[in-house]
Amino acid sequence: MAVYREDMKLVRRLLAGDERAFDRFYDENSARLYRFALVRVADDPDGARDITQVSLTRALRKLHTYRAESALFTWLCAICRNELSDWLSRRGHYRKHIVLTEDFPEIRAAVESIQVPDAERPEVAYQRQETLRLIQVALDRLPPRYGNVLEWKYIEGRSVKEIAAQLHLGHEATQSLLARAKRAFAEVYKSLMVGVRQPVNGAART
Amino acid sequence: MTDRNESLRSDESLERLLGQAAPRPVPAAHDAELMRLAVHTEWRSIVRKRRTNRRAVALALAASVVVTLGVLLSTLRVSGPDRVAVATIARSFGSIYTLGDQSELYVAARLVQLRADETILTGSDSGMALAWLEGGSLRIDANTRVTFKSGSEIELHSGRVYFDSESFGVDGRPASGPLLIRTEFGVITHLGTRYMADASGRSLAVSVREGRVSIDGTHYDAIAGAGQQLRLTGTGRPVIVGMDPYGETWTWIERTSPPADMDGRSVRDFLGWASRESGLEIRFASAAAERLAATSILRGRVDIPATEAVPIWLQTTDLEAHIEDGFIAVSTSHARTAN
């Protein structure tokens, strides 16, 4: 079983009251968790915000129970799922039929196993809408730094120089980071696309 | 399919694929700010509780009898007083929320009174003035989270508050006793004073306009007097520096100033209020100006910040005022015309 040492270190620092650890924890996870919630509450930003806040708060209260057996973000997503379920049932929403591709355990496991992978073969052969959504999902499943540099470079169109300045890195190091991020993205995206082709138990997103 | 995989494998294809996507959605800036504040405050509270628990365990090993008594006492405290009213809202603007048991936010648009154990959270565009039921005026700045523990105690989790224990005749009455402000860094107590507690960073800064303030710190105790600012950071020793009772740091207090009823009050009273709100000293240019201020009576209600109100309101009298560095200069209109 994989042990997420970096995440465990971060959790220990959080429990010790390290402010920088909090900044990192919050900056790396809050927006991703918000998007995780947003797509599951039919793009209701207020609902997603409330769920994210309650999930993060609940996670912090249970932080001492984190065992690093899954990535910290995955652990947060599990807490968020419970909050989503409560939130939806409180509002009488009936969304049991909505199953997101990335919610399949097999895909989650595959995504979690990604560290800094070699390039493999992702597929791009699905409906445009789902493709675009999955790009965002994949970016969120990458280590935060990878997701950010890819978004800045290829979606927002920032230059390598600007990204280097933002990250306080040299030009070469930034290019190297971008290359690693692209490889990791390809791997995660491929995992998600496999899920689209082969939904588990016949479930599909509506 | 294989061709597609091959092409996607290349950097160029990946870049094209990424280029199709929109930026990932993020919460609105204002929401994000509030959310971070709420989560951060909760985290600090959790860390504090953990530290307290650790100390309790250490004590238990040393003297289990003492701990048993402590538990009994804390149980009594928890099940103690009901939610009594502690303050009324004299003014509020912007986004203000109360915090639910699960840290969920509720819009507090129609709130008129605050009760013990209630937690208020202010957004980046907001502020509040509270008439404290035990006396005095408590102001709450933007981006602040505060819990009202009882009629004589609040807990400042983050952000800034200002307490004026003698703000009588305008938005309350003089405080009948000290208001304790509990923070992560220590407990602030005072007697008859005006001061600001700022826990918005990773430290506590207590700035005193008038009177004296004592801090029973987690690691060190300290006392600060008028014109001083006391800073506490983590386990470091307290640092005391000189500080003007007016200026940029204090201007938010004027913004939260509740409407002041000046009907039938003298210009001198009005200037006294403005001085208290702004921290600026009043200087009369002549004895005649001072006499005129004591005898000129005003009508109406001031509902703008003090430093803006002074020149405007004095236009209805034979006095005029201008603000200089640290004071409000008041002269007769005649004197200025003659000059």
Q: What pLDDT digit, counting tens, does each position of B263-286 carry?
A: 889 999 999 999 999 999 999 999
Task: Identify which of A12-26, A87-101, B93-107 has the greatest average pLDDT.
Answer: A12-26
Interface with B, mutate which of A57, A91, A149, A160 (most B CBs under 10 A):
A57
Report the helix count and the strand count for chain B, using DSSP H and E: 9, 21
What distance in Å separates the CA atoms of residue A75 and residue B164, rounded to the nearest whole number? Answer: 46
Query: Could you tell me how far CA B287 lies from the centroid of its own chain?
Result: 37
Closest CA to B145 of B108, B114, B164, B120: B120
Nearest Cβ partner for B1 among A31, A57, A125: A125
Q: How many CB atoms lie within 10 A of CB A51?
A: 27
| pLDDT value for B6 | 54
pLDDT-above-70 percentage for chain B: 83
pLDDT, tens digit, for every residue of B198-249?
987 778 999 999 888 988 887 788 889 999 999 888 777 889 999 999 999 9
| pLDDT value for A123 | 44
Residue at token pair 């200069």: B329
What distance in Å separates the CA atoms of residue B176 and residue A138, rounded to the nearest whole number? Answer: 60
- Closest Cα in chain A, distance from residue B5 (Å): 5
Residue A76 confidence (pLDDT) above 90: yes
Average pLDDT, whole number, for chain B? Answer: 82
- Report CB contact under 8 Å: A52, B35: yes
Residue at token pair 């196993």: A113
Nearest Cβ partner for B28 among A35, A45, A179: A45
What distance in Å separates the CA atoms of residue A32 and residue A90, rounded to the nearest whole number? Answer: 24
Residue B187 confidence (pLDDT) above 60: yes
Output the pTM of the full model. Answer: 0.57
Provide φ and ψ at A114, rounded to 5°: -75, 125
| pLDDT value for B61 | 67
Closest CA to B37 of B79, B96, B89: B96
Q: Determine contact: B104 vs chain A, CB below 8 A.
A: yes
Mean pLDDT, residues B132-141 taken together:
89
| Chain A contact set for B25 (CB, 8 A) | 34-35, 38, 45, 136
- Closest Cα in chain A, distance from residue B31 (Å): 7
